[in-house]
Chain A
Amino acid sequence: LHTIPYDIISDWMNQIVKDHPDLVTRVEYGKTYEKRTISLLKIGLNTEAKKKAIWMDCGIHAREWIAPAFCQYFVNQILQSYKTDAKMQEMMKNVDFYVTPVLNIDGYIYTWKDNTTRLWRKNRSLGPSPDCYGTDLNRNFDANWGTVGVSFNCSSNIFCGTNATSEPEAQAVTYFVGTRKDDFLCFLTIHSYGQLLLLPYGHPNYTASNYEELMKVGQDAAEAIKKVHGQNYRVGTSPDVLYPNSGSSRDWARMQGIPFSYTFELRDNGTFGFQLPEDQIQPACEEAYSGALHIITYAHNQIYSGAVAVTAVTLWTLLLAAGVTLM
């Protein structure tokens, strides 16, 4: 498993569609500042029913290379698992997975330019000051925008942009997910480093209505992660375990009503930081997959485990109503 330049990721997306035409389509849903097409893989069985959805995005921050690697791993893994695992088959029938391997494409490509650009974080939009580039996309969403954990100085690495959703990359997600928000059960946004599972909200004065549940599911996911290679992931709101912030995609998603919204901060704890060595990519992805799958399965089961019973009740109700009308 390697980290891969963007062109190869794009080619890989096309290949996945070719290899799994019954399950996968590539959907273009926006443009970056430098006019590159942002696309995702929609993965699931084509049924006539209106399906619930799982969102995953990677690479909102350009330098966090393990994140796009994880999105690729995730896609490969669920498709592999689908062949033999009954639970995955059930989930593919009931939900669609929407996976964006690289959201901040301009930034990601920039980090591949040369040795000096490797640690770029933001997108590549020209700011309000001359020669000042980049907005922190994870401070640009319309969720308590511009309040805490941000800078209004364009040269800062946490510059939140000129306005909420000023950035085309943030607009793309906002429009795509926003017009389908009732469909989404789960919104996972993948970052590095720090080994954390962060829940909404980034603003210390706001608590999610399902905070207790988010903590419980998060802690169970962290336990699942630990079982894989013994790594500890801390769980909590951003202000509790890391720092306050505003305008994150996770907070925005939760505010849309998407109940299970988490930020994953993958390996490591700071020794290699953003430049995770090749021999750690596979184990980092394996453990993160375990954690993500736990959350996704839980979210799926909230809706679909009792489905058979619900359908039966509905059917009887209809029959009885029809019977009464006839009489």
Chain B
Amino acid sequence: MGPKSVVVLAAFLTAAIGPRAGSEVNEGRASALEDAAERAMAARQLNPHHYEARRAAQVVPLYLNTRHGSPFRLFGLQTVHAATVEDVGDSGRRYQLEMSVQEIITETTEKCSAEVFFPGEGKQPSPPQVKVSPLTELLRVDAKAEEEALYQRYRTKDPPLSAQYLPDSHGRLDPDMKPFWHLCIVASSFVMLSESTEGTLYNMAQVASITQLPTENEQLKFDGLVLLHDMVSQEIPRWKLLFTWSPAGGVTVLQMEQQPRCPHC
């Protein structure tokens, strides 16, 4: 690899991970370097403790839940260390984040870089796009034994699982139900990710109900009603979810449908 190619590669890598405070980009002759320079200058530094960075960062653990979440593995936002945002023409806004993500059950934390792209207001609202640098520590968290045990236990469960209000009003959870609370947070993450915008901040407030359906294609199958909380509107959106899980397959959401608002709730 010649020296010019190395410089171009470095510029691409810098552009992919994001501009850092005080970083300089050479006014290079290669157009790739010029593009990278323009992007770095167009990106606006954000206060990592403020709402814009926080809302964008909240999306990252949701994304990680959809890819790697299980009844024994769950991700949450710890801290935002640095953030920038830039307009991408008319198509939307891109956030570059330096942040710490936590695996909630083991309380393991890992730093990572992430990119969150929120599409602009189009005819069809569409979900944000997320890229995250590889998480070696968090994904090393080994839950295989517990996952397999849970899977085998419920594969032919009779009677099938049926539970309501996880956790209860006092934050209490039956130890046997805890993995299913986690599982619903993972399934909810698909909805929350899909619904996230720069004007929302989602958490799952409570599982109203979860019912196990017959195992299908070696996947445990569930019908759930989850209550989400959007911090910005302070509303409790209600979603019906049909989803499957297995240790090998992870979580798949087959159907998601928002339910009407409950006026007395």
Contact = CB atoms under 8 A, between A and B. Distances in A.
Interface in B131-156: none
A119 B227 contact: yes
Contacts of B47: 240
Which of B164, B227, B265 has the largest count of A CB atoms less than 10 A from its CB? Answer: B265
Contacts of B234: 121, 136, 157-158
Given A116-B265, A119-B236, A120-B265, A271 B51 contact: no
B76 interface: yes
**Is chain B's binding surface mostly helix, strand, loop or mixed?**
loop
A118 B76 contact: no
Interface stretch (B82-90, B168-176, B246-254): B168-176
Nearest to B49: A234
Which of A194, A275, A277, A278 has the largest count of B CB atoms less than 10 A from its CB? Answer: A275
Contacts of A278: 170-172
Interface in B196-212: 203, 205-206
**Is chain A's binding surface mostly helix, strand, loop or mixed?**
loop
B104 A271 contact: yes
Contacts of B235: 156-157
B50 interface: yes
A275 B171 contact: yes
A241 interface: yes
Contact of B77 (A119, A241, A269, A280): A269
B13 interface: no
B123 interface: no
Contacts of B233: 156-158
B111 interface: no
Interface string A245-270: 00000000000000000000000011
A170 B98 CA distance: 42
Contacts of A232: 79
Contacts of A194: 231
A282 interface: no
B137 to A, nearest CB: 19
Contacts of A2: 170
B168 A271 contact: no
A242 B51 contact: yes
Contact of A115 (B54, B164, B231, B232): B164
Contact of B203 (A115, A158, A270): A270
Contact of A117 (B50, B79, B264): B264
B6 interface: no
Contact of B167 (A121, A136, A241, A277): A277
A42 B52 CA distance: 41
Contacts of A277: 167, 170-173
B165 interface: yes
Interface of A: 2-3, 111-112, 115-121, 131-133, 136, 155-158, 194, 232, 234-236, 239-243, 269-278, 280
Interface of B: 47, 49-51, 54, 76-77, 79, 104, 164-165, 167-173, 203, 205-206, 227, 229, 231-236, 261-265
9 contacts: A2-B170, A115-B169, A117-B265, A119-B229, A121-B234, A157-B236, A194-B231, A232-B79, A235-B49
Given A158-B234, A272-B171, 11 more contacts: A119-B227, A119-B236, A120-B265, A136-B234, A232-B79, A236-B49, A242-B51, A242-B231, A243-B51, A243-B231, A275-B169
